[in-house]
Amino acid sequence: MEFNENEAIYLQIAGYVGEHILRQQWLPDQKIPSVRDLAATLQVNPNTVMRTYELLQSQETIYNKRGLGFFVAPEAAARVRAYRRERFLQQELPAFFATISLLGIDLAEIKQRYDQFQAPTPSLAAHEN
């Protein structure tokens, strides 16, 4: 994982965990990597991962089963999505608006590009005919 120097590492790891939850790679009530395993995978200090897990536990995204490890909370995906949505709307969207305004990009072009992004990609089979 490449870390961004503009944000605390434990918060970036929380984003990594949230990404796995939102992509359904880690499902509700599923055990997640131990502190040591995730620290080794991400090449960070285990104390940093523990700080991340404490944060996520306080946000009710994960829970601890004493002696067994940490697990994805039943409502984790909804909590992660709500947190990320609010963060995007409060922090990232204003910066995005400032950039498009500065570059003279109008909302019609943004909508067109977004529609292209959302459009399903044609299968290879359709091109083989």
pTM reported for the whole predicted model: 0.78
Q: pLDDT digits over 24-81, tens only? A: 999 999 999 999 999 999 999 999 999 999 999 999 999 999 999 999 999 999 999 9
Residue 64 forms beta bridges with which residues? 70
Q: Is 32 inside any structural domain?
A: yes
Neighbours of 14 (CB within 10 A): 22
Give residue 123's pLDDT.
59
Backbone angles phi, psi at 72, to 5 degrees: -70, 130
Give residue 120's pLDDT.
82
CATH number, domain at 4?
1.10.10.10
Q: Is 51 inside any structural domain?
A: yes
Say how far apart CA 91 and CA 105 lie, in whole Å: 20
Average of per-residue pLDDT across 5-20: 95
- Residue 76 sits at the vertex; the CA angle it makes with 74 and 78, to the nearest 5 degrees, is 110
Q: Is 79 inside any structural domain?
A: yes
Pair 79, 61: CB distance under 8 Å: yes
Query: What average pLDDT does the structure give for the chain?
Result: 93
Count of domains observed in the chain: 1
